[in-house]
């Protein structure tokens, strides 16, 4: 485009924007400068003489007649059909251009100026879209060549490019064709400047007579020369080349900046096209080869369940064999059980099956429902492992449409370990949805496959992460994920082993074991040598009784470890780095020890090997030490249920190494100090919210009771997952697990849910208090802690009624026969003060039976005060006066 033409285009577009759209393209000074420049080049320029608006304001969308009708093309759907067309018409060289998936229209030019643009309509009568077209990209409003203004018509496709689509509709809710067509037909012109045209046909008149182009190639070159953007195209010397071009386009269509639905093939020689003529409005010399979306009718003979790597259970239709586009189809996707209900499809029905491009065939509708049809039933358990099934929670946190197996160890799943690898190494950008899509669609089987994704970047970018919205991952996110994966190619031994997702083997544990082994575990080969089966070696590196289990885990991952190394993951030697965010390893010592040692005696040595001493058996505890490791005590039971290792004192001694009895500090202070330092402080922080007894790793329970219903809702955050349980009070209820990328995200989600429940009238109940009422499993009950004898005098009692002390009110007769006063000293020792009234800043109200709705209990709950039993109080204080 010459500078003059460019100036004319800019001026006309700016004028139009100013008069018509109310969205000026530039300020007055800029505009004046353009006119001045044009005036210098061409003092009497016709464009300078244009006055006022380009198009009447009311013309938009009025009916308009095409001066030359817009034809349509015959379609073919397969190579066979295409070759038939080639042979029948003896085509010769072919001009092939991609077929944009947009709306077509024509623009008419007179003496260089765009005078009217008309949508295709029925080919003869369309709608005037001039006002919007003046703002389209790629459509010049002033056209000339070698000083001669252009006269004629240009036909084009109006397209919203993927880039612009993403810009105006980031959630990509509508596909670009619908979004683009919507914009094109807007009366107010809004967003018209986001549309791009791609010209594909031209009628040019020179000196008042139609100009005859010799070939399609010549025509396309002319369009480009005149300043129109044109569709990607190529010249093929024969049918074979055209077939090759089609295949290349079909494979790379997703990399194109626009959505396309096929390739338009035109006999290059226009004379030949004219010779062949037109049938039924369709020129015989042109054909649209559409990507295969052909369909056929067949009978649904059965449904089998196939299992995805993520545990999804997908119904697959078994079809009576049918030919679609040259391939025999015997099965098809039924998506999910909701889709089955929506289609109202049953076994025995006649169905319409389509094979959409490269996607597997799909049943899109039922064509006949015979009387003998059989309903398609949802699986009642996992067909692969027999595990429990349920609906997968979707991104919004609701029940999704996919039925999934809930068994974490289901043989069909490979998501779990990859997820642990990703979370452990902080690979950002791969949430559950993305991971599941990756595993499912890219067929990842283990973490090592992550490192081969670099070569499959296009597939990754193309990954459909929301089928309903047709939302793809996109190149940008794909690149950032690949970069994040790439950044984990060099790992320390602890990162490597600790991220494999093995039981008992997190990063921190590996670090501790390496340092305890004093060089014996510095190399990966040592870990794979079977060394850990040696019980005394295992005990020496802090894993008594589980060494063999860890070794089994490592051995079972042998193939994956090799695969990771082969994929280029390397292990950097040298000292392992400790990470502060790592959860502490914990040990709980319970009951009287045979040696006569106190718990506190073990505190220092345990700390030295990275373990903290805690008082409670809870999820995440690493070891419970009991005098009798085989004990069937409730504590031991609970520990086993939670997967906590129960060990003997002898094993503990092995674990802490060359241990010599330390001076015991004080017989009385330590236990209570531990309790002051660790537990109540946490509770203090929590009690500001309405969550007084919330203890990490144990479920919080909420109940809602009115005339009609009595239901409960429990939430528990375990590592990165949020476990929710709900149902009628008195029954076990339904469980749902939702996983997050980080513990923090899981916690936040749980907090949000709690907030919602409270808003909906649920009341938090203290765990244990309702145990008699509901028959829920024992999980949430605080473990009965063996009373520790406490003498108040020897405790460092905080000052009475210190302003920061939390208040506890004990009301009514206590079941134990203890008096209120008996609790005063232990409460003080633990930083609480005993008060007589239920007040707003009360931490706990202690009642003989917290369940009934006494007025005092009512008031307490209203104030957000936790109502607890005497037993709970004792647990809280670790004491029994």
- Choice between 387 and 544, CB closer to Zn ion: 387
Nearer to Zn ion, 316 or 763 (CB): 316
* Closest of 585, 450, 565, 566 to residue 510, by C-alpha: 585
Smaller CB separation from Zn ion, 390 or 397: 390
Q: Cβ closer to Zn ion: 112 or 308?
A: 308
Shortest Å distance, C-beta 384 to Zn ion: 5
**Nearby residues of 442 by Cβ (< 8 Å), 6 or more positions away:** 449, 453, 456, 459, 460, 463
Q: Are strands 282-283 and 471-472 parallel, antiparallel or unpaired?
A: unpaired
List 387, 542, 553, 692, residue binding Zn ion (CB under 5 A): 387
Q: Select 221 or 385, whichever has its Cβ closest to Zn ion.
A: 385
- Rounded to a whole number of angstroms, the minimum distance from the CB of residue 387 to Zn ion is 4
| Least distance (Å) between residue 432 CB and Zn ion | 18
Name the strand (E) or helix (H) holding 562: helix 558-566
Residue 318 burial (C-beta neighbours within 10 Å; 0-12, 13-18, 19+): middle
132: nearest Cα among 180, 66, 164, 168: 180
Task: For the CB of residue 463, give the shortest distance to Zn ion in the complex, in Å.
Answer: 24
* 733 binds Zn ion, rule: CB under 5 A: no
Q: Looking at 6-14, 374-382, 490-498, 807-815, which segment touches Zn ion (CB under 5 A)? A: 374-382
User: What mask, x for binding Zn ion by CB under 5 A, covers residues 399 to 438?
Assistant: ------x-x--x----------------------------
CB of 313 to Zn ion, least distance (A): 8
Do the Cβ atoms of 497 and 554 come closer than 8 Å? yes
- Number of residues interacting with Zn ion: please give it, by CB under 5 A: 7
As measured in angstroms, the least distance from the Cβ of 383 to Zn ion is 8
Rounded Cα distance between 678 and 695, Å, is 11
Q: Which of 865, 840, 835 is closest to 850 using CA atoms? A: 865
The 331-370 contact track toward Zn ion, x by CB under 5 A, reads ----------------------------------------
**Number of residues that this document lists for the chain:** 881
Instruction: Give yes or no for a contact between 523 and 573, defined as CB atoms under 8 angstroms apart.
Output: yes
- For Zn ion, the closer of residues 283 and 501 by Cβ is 501
Tell me the window of 191-199, 383-391, 438-446, 835-843 that interacts with Zn ion (CB under 5 A): 383-391
310 contributes a contact to Zn ion by CB under 5 A: no
Q: Which of 384, 623, 702, 844 binds Zn ion (CB under 5 A)?
A: 384
Are 869 and 810 contacting, i.e. CB atoms less than 8 angstroms apart? no
Cβ nearer to Zn ion, comparing 387 with 692: 387
Query: Minimum distance between the CB of residue 412 and Zn ion, rounded to whole angstroms?
Result: 6
Region of 71-79, 376-384, 436-444, 566-574 interacting with Zn ion (CB under 5 A)? 376-384
Half-sphere exposure at residue 369, Cβ-oriented, CA atoms within 13 angstroms: 8
List binders of Zn ion among 256-295 (CB under 5 A).
none
- Measured from the CB atom, the residue of 383 and 457 that comes closer to Zn ion is 383
User: Binding segment for Zn ion among 23-31, 259-267, 378-386, 536-544 (CB under 5 A)?
Assistant: 378-386
Burial (CB count <10 Å: 0-12, 13-18, 19+), residue 42: middle
Q: Does 389 bind Zn ion (CB under 5 A)?
A: no
Q: From the CB of 309, what's the least distance to Zn ion, in Å?
A: 12
Who contacts 675 (Cβ-Cβ below 8 Å, separation ≥6)? 615, 830, 877, 878
Q: Which residue has the tokens 């204080």?
A: 877
Give the sign of the dihedral formed by CA 78, CA 79, CA 84, CA 90.
Answer: positive
> Contact between 385 and Zn ion (CB under 5 A)?
yes
Map tokens 């870990």 to a residue: 527
Q: What's the closest the beta carbon of residue 403 comes to Zn ion, in angstroms?
A: 11
Comparison of 379 and 431: residue with beta carbon closer to Zn ion = 379
Q: Are 25 and 17 in contact (CB under 8 A)?
A: yes
Q: Residue 256: is it exposed, middle or buried by C-beta count within 10 angstroms (0-12/13-18/19+)?
A: middle
Nearer to Zn ion, 410 or 766 (CB): 410
Nearer to Zn ion by C-beta: 131 or 382? 382
Assess 382 for contact with Zn ion (CB under 5 A): yes
In the complex with Zn ion, which residue's Cβ is closer, 103 or 418? 418
In the complex, least distance from residue 418 CB atom to Zn ion, rounded to whole angstroms: 17
In angstroms, the CA 423 to CA 741 distance is: 6
Distance between CA atoms of 38 and 9, rounded to whole angstroms? 11
> Can you list the alpha helix ranges (DSSP code H) found in 407-523?
415-424, 432-441, 457-461, 475-486, 493-498, 507-517
| Token pair of 543 as six digits | 């894993």
Outline where DSSP puts E strands in 729-804.
Answer: 734-739, 763-765
Stretch in the footprint of Zn ion (CB under 5 A) among 42-50, 317-325, 386-394, 808-816: 386-394
**Interacting residue ranges for Zn ion, rule: CB under 5 A:** 382, 384-385, 387, 405, 407, 410
């Amino acid at each position: 485009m010459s500078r003059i033409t460019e100036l004319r285009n800019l001026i006309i577009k700016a004028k139009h924007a100013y008069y018509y759209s109310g969205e000026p393209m530039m300020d007055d000074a800029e505009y004046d400068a353009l006119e001045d420049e044009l005036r210098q080049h061409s003092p009497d320029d016709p464009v300078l003489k244009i006055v006022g608006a380009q198009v009447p304001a009311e013309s938009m969308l009025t009916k308009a007649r095409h001066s030359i009708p817009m034809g349509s093309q015959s379609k073919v759907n397969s190579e066979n059909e295409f070759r038939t067309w080639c042979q029948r018409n003896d085509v010769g060289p072919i001009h092939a251009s991609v077929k944009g998936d947009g709306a077509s229209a024509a623009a008419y030019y007179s003496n260089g100026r765009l005078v009217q643009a008309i949508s295709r309509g029925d080919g003869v009568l369309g709608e005037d879209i001039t006002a919007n077209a003046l703002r389209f990209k790629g459509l010049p409003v002033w056209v000339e060549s070698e000083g001669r203004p252009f006269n004629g018509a240009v036909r084009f496709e109006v397209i919203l490019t993927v880039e612009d689509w993403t810009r105006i509709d980031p959630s990509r809710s509508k596909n670009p064709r619908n979004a683009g067509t919507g914009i094109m037909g807007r009366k107010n012109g809004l967003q018209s400047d986001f549309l791009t045209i791609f010209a594909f046909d031209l009628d040019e008149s020179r000196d008042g007579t139609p100009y005859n182009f010799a070939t399609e190639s010549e025509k396309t070159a002319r369009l480009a020369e005149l300043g129109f953007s044109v569709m990607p195209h190529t010249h093929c010397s024969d049918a074979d080349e055209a077939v090759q071009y089609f295949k290349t386009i079909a494979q790379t269509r997703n990399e194109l900046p626009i959505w396309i639905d096929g390739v338009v093939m035109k006999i290059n020689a226009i004379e030949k096209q004219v010779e062949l003529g037109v049938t039924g409005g369709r020129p015989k010399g042109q054909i649209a080869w559409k990507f295969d979306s052909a369909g056929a009718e067949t009978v649904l003979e059965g449904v089998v369940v196939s299992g995805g790597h993520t545990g999804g259970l997908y119904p697959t239709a078994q079809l009576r064999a049918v030919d679609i586009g040259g391939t025999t189809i015997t099965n098809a996707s039924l998506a999910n059980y909701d889709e089955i209900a929506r289609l109202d499809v049953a076994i025995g029905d006649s169905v319409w099956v389509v094979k959409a491009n490269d996607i597997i065939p799909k049943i899109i509708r039922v064509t006949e429902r015979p009387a003998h049809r059989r309903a398609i039933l949802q699986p009642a358990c996992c067909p692969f492992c027999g595990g429990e099934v349920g609906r997968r929670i979707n991104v919004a946190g609701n029940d999704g449409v996919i039925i999934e197996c809930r068994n974490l160890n289901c043989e069909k799943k490979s998501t779990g370990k990859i997820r642990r690898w990703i979370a452990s190494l902080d690979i950002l950008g791969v949430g559950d949805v993305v991971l599941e899509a990756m595993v499912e669609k890219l067929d990842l089987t283990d973490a090592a496959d992550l490192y081969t994704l670099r070569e499959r970047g296009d597939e990754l970018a193309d990954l459909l992460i929301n089928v309903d919205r047709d939302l793809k991952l996109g190149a940008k996110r794909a690149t950032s994920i690949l970069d994040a994966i790439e950044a984990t190619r060099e790992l320390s031994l602890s990162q490597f082993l600790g991220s494999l997702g093995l039981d008992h083997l997190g990063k921190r544990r590996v670090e501790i074991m390496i340092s305890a082994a004093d060089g014996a575990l510095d190399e990966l080969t040592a870990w794979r040598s079977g060394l850990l089966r040696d019980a005394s070696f295992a005990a020496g590196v802090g894993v008594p009784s589980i060494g063999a289990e860890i070794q089994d885990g490592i051995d079972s991952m042998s193939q994956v470890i090799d695969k990771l190394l082969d994929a280029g993951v390397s292990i950097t030697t040298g000292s392992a780095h400790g990470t502060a965010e790592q959860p502490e390893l914990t040990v709980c010592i319970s009951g009287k020890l045979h040696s006569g040692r106190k718990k506190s005696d073990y505190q220092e040595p345990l700390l030295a090997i990275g373990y903290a001493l805690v008082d409670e058996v809870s999820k995440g505890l690493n070891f419970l030490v009991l005098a009798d490791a085989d004990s069937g005590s409730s504590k031991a039971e609970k520990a086993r249920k939670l997967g906590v290792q129960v060990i003997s004192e002898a094993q503990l001694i092995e674990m802490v190494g060359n241990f010599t009895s330390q001076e015991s500090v004080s017989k009385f202070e330590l236990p209570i100090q531990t309790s002051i330092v660790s537990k109540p402080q946490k509770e203090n922080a929590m009690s500001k919210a309405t969550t007084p007894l919330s203890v990490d790793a144990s479920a919080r329970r909420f109940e809602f009771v009115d005339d009609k219903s009595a239901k409960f809702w429990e939430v528990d955050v375990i590592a990165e997952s949020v476990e929710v349980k709900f149902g009628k009070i008195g029954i076990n209820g339904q469980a749902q697990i939702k996983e997050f990328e980080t513990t923090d995200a899981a916690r936040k989600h749980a907090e949000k849910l709690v907030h919602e429940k409270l808003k909906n009238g649920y009341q938090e109940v203290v765990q244990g208090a309702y145990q008699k009422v509901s028959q829920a499993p024992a999980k949430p009950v605080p473990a009965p802690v063996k009373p520790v004898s406490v003498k108040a005098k020897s405790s460092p009692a905080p000052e009475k009624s210190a302003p920061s002390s939390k208040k506890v009110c004990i009301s009514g007769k206590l079941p134990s026969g203890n008096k209120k006063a008996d609790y005063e000293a232990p409460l003080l020792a633990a930083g609480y003060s005993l008060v007589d009234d239920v007040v707003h800043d009360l931490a706990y109200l202690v009642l003989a039976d917290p369940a009934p709705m006494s007025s005092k209990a009512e008031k307490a709950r209203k104030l957000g005060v936790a109502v607890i039993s005497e037993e709970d109080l004792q647990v809280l204080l670790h004491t029994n006066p």
